[in-house]
A = this chain, B = another copy of it.
């Protein structure tokens, strides 16, 4: 089993108010590289800043890293076209960030990225892949792809009040600019991604198609973005069993309607609740408040904890460790009362 994190960028994230995967649009471009650093190394290596939402909630990479430290699973990073820097080794399947979906072509290299990822998915030696994503703005492109394919159009958000109306407007403009009506790209996943998707969707869909075709079991680890990838795989004619592992926070989000979407795509849905309400900690409070929900493979990481002999209590303790280590000594309003412990962790080089 191996966790695969697919990282990329879309200029769609720069639409004001559309994403919270970073404190502001300038910092958001560093989010994918930082997420890879955190999952691969447990700290920043070449990325400049720990991603936090505008209100200070740290990236779900903290949860995935905590699960990785607890369970010891391998993680491999796939670069579908990131803009910022990372110290995480990666397999490249794409060279360029995606354009704003309102451009005529959102992902000019969609076909090449899909094919390179598909070949990689078929070649990786693992019996099971758990595939997650990190791409700010990705729920809007997911909405775009679902609409282009003619599938259920609800999507989740990293923002407390889902700016669904804004996403719908952006997607409608993108489809229009690409000369597509909803459903026009049914059966043609590469066309859907090229017109209104993002490079990560091309890569996740390709990896998944290649993996299942070679007999590898795939768990898509995430919310609506991974559901959109599942839709792309289905529209590529792949009818092998697929699992979507997401968080209880996505499942509880009415606007996402993830269960209905999974059902319509014949995808098994696994929902895991990390019971964050049991503690009061800045790494977890935002999820309980409905502000943060999913990302960076978090839903899959939680399901791996659930499958293991480890407990959610241990996971939450490890989340606190990772959080303290990442934010130790940084000027961050959410950090309080744990300076000594955090300094020790940093000095131990972990």
The residues of A with any CB-CB pair to B shorter than 8 Å are 41-43, 45-46, 76-78, 87-92, 119-120, 123-127, 349-350
Q: Are B125's CB and A349's CB within 8 A?
A: yes
Chain B residue nearest to A76 (CB atoms) is B89
Q: In the assembled complex, which residues on chain B have CB atoms less than 8 Å from the CB atom of A45?
A: 120, 123-125
Q: Are A90's CB and B89's CB within 8 A?
A: yes
Is the contact region of chain A dominated by helix, strand, or loop, or is it mixed?
loop
CA distance A89 to B124 in the complex (A): 11
Q: Are B89's CB and A127's CB within 8 A?
A: no
Q: In the assembled complex, which residues on chain B have CB atoms less than 8 Å from the CB atom of A41?
A: 124-125
Q: Are B89's CB and A91's CB within 8 A?
A: yes
Measured CB to CB, the closest approach of chain B to A82, in angstroms, equals: 12
Q: Are B87's CB and A124's CB within 8 A?
A: yes
Q: In the assembled complex, which residues on chain B have CB atoms less than 8 Å from the CB atom of A123?
A: 45-46, 87
CA distance A126 to B43 in the complex (A): 11
| A87 with B46, Cβ < 8 A, contacts A127-B349, A349-B126 known | no
Measured CB to CB, the closest approach of chain B to A34, in angstroms, equals: 13
Measured CB to CB, the closest approach of chain B to A126, in angstroms, equals: 7
The 10 closest A-B pairs by CB, nearest first: A89-B89, A45-B123, A89-B91, A127-B349, A89-B90, A76-B89, A41-B125, A87-B123, A46-B123, A43-B125
Q: Are B90's CB and A90's CB within 8 A?
A: yes
CA distance A12 to B77 in the complex (A): 32
CA distance A201 to B45 in the complex (A): 23
Residue from B42, B88, B120 in contact with A87 in the complex, judged by beta carbons closer than 8 Å: B120
28 A-B pairs in the complex with CB atoms less than 8 angstroms apart: A41-B124, A41-B125, A42-B125, A43-B125, A45-B120, A45-B123, A45-B125, A46-B119, A46-B120, A46-B123, A76-B89, A77-B89, A78-B89, A87-B91, A87-B120, A87-B123, A87-B124, A88-B89, A88-B91, A89-B90, A89-B91, A90-B90, A90-B91, A92-B92, A125-B349, A125-B350, A126-B349, A127-B349
Chain B residue nearest to A91 (CB atoms) is B89
CA distance A125 to B88 in the complex (A): 11
Q: A45-B123, A76-B89, A90-B91 are in contact. List 13 more A-B contacts (CB 8 A).
A: A43-B125, A45-B124, A45-B125, A46-B119, A77-B89, A87-B120, A87-B124, A88-B91, A89-B89, A89-B91, A125-B349, A126-B349, A127-B349
Measured CB to CB, the closest approach of chain B to A47, in angstroms, equals: 10
Q: In the assembled complex, which residues on chain B have CB atoms less than 8 Å from the CB atom of A76?
A: 89
Chain B residue nearest to A43 (CB atoms) is B125
Measured CB to CB, the closest approach of chain B to A332, in angstroms, equals: 20
Q: In the assembled complex, which residues on chain B have CB atoms less than 8 Å from the CB atom of A78?
A: 89
Measured CB to CB, the closest approach of chain B to A70, in angstroms, equals: 17
CA distance A88 to B2 in the complex (A): 13
Q: In the assembled complex, which residues on chain B have CB atoms less than 8 Å from the CB atom of A350?
A: 125
Measured CB to CB, the closest approach of chain B to A86, in angstroms, equals: 8
Q: In the assembled complex, which residues on chain B have CB atoms less than 8 Å from the CB atom of A43?
A: 125
CA distance A91 to B87 in the complex (A): 7
Measured CB to CB, the closest approach of chain B to A32, in angstroms, equals: 15
CA distance A125 to B37 in the complex (A): 11
Measured CB to CB, the closest approach of chain B to A172, in angstroms, equals: 38
